[in-house]
Amino acid sequence: MPLLLSVGAFSANAVILLSDRAPGLFRRVSARIDTGVSRVADATGVGAPGTDVGVPQSDFDVHVVIWAAAALLIGLAAWSWPTLFLASGAVFASSVVLELAQRSYTNSRTVQFADLVANAVGVVCGTAAVAGFALAWWAVSRGSGRSGSC
């Protein structure tokens, strides 16, 4: 089940990051990202005259959440510590590929170093959550395996 959810998470991340306006459930997230890009265009003078020129709203938290979810799901599908860390590296590498692909596949998204940092933070958070769960599970299962005798 976690593996199937992981595929869904990667698909959702690809839709969010590679489409100019993601349909349905992701429309709100995509609109927020597109708004940030529009504000950058306005701030650099590329936007229409007389429009609001300001500092763009960061979508750092969006990147953290979507990549933490992906790392969490793929991490839950991992069966060992080496697999967890290998999978986490693959999730981060995928996030970098999708970020760089924005240059070629979208008209309104741009590659940003801050997004790569947010992706890394998300992957670390998701991996840490899985590691914490695994350690807690190990501690509980080890504790329940002992009998009450001395």
Domain enclosing residue 12, as ranges: 2-144
**51 inside domain:** yes
Q: What is the pTM of this model?
A: 0.67
**95 inside domain:** yes
In total, how many domains does the chain have?
1
* Whether the Cβ atoms of residue 84 and residue 63 lie closer than 8 Å to each other: no
* Whether the Cβ atoms of residue 10 and residue 95 lie closer than 8 Å to each other: no
Rank 1-5, 46-50, 59-63, 70-74 by mean pLDDT and report only the highest: 70-74
Q: Please count the residues of the chain.
A: 150
**150 inside domain:** no
pLDDT tens figures, 80-129: 999 999 999 999 999 999 888 888 877 777 888 999 999 999 999 999 99
* Whether the Cβ atoms of residue 84 and residue 127 lie closer than 8 Å to each other: yes
Tokens describing residue 20: 């100019």
| Cβ contacts of 109 within 8 Å, gap of 6 or more | 17, 18, 20, 33, 34, 37, 102
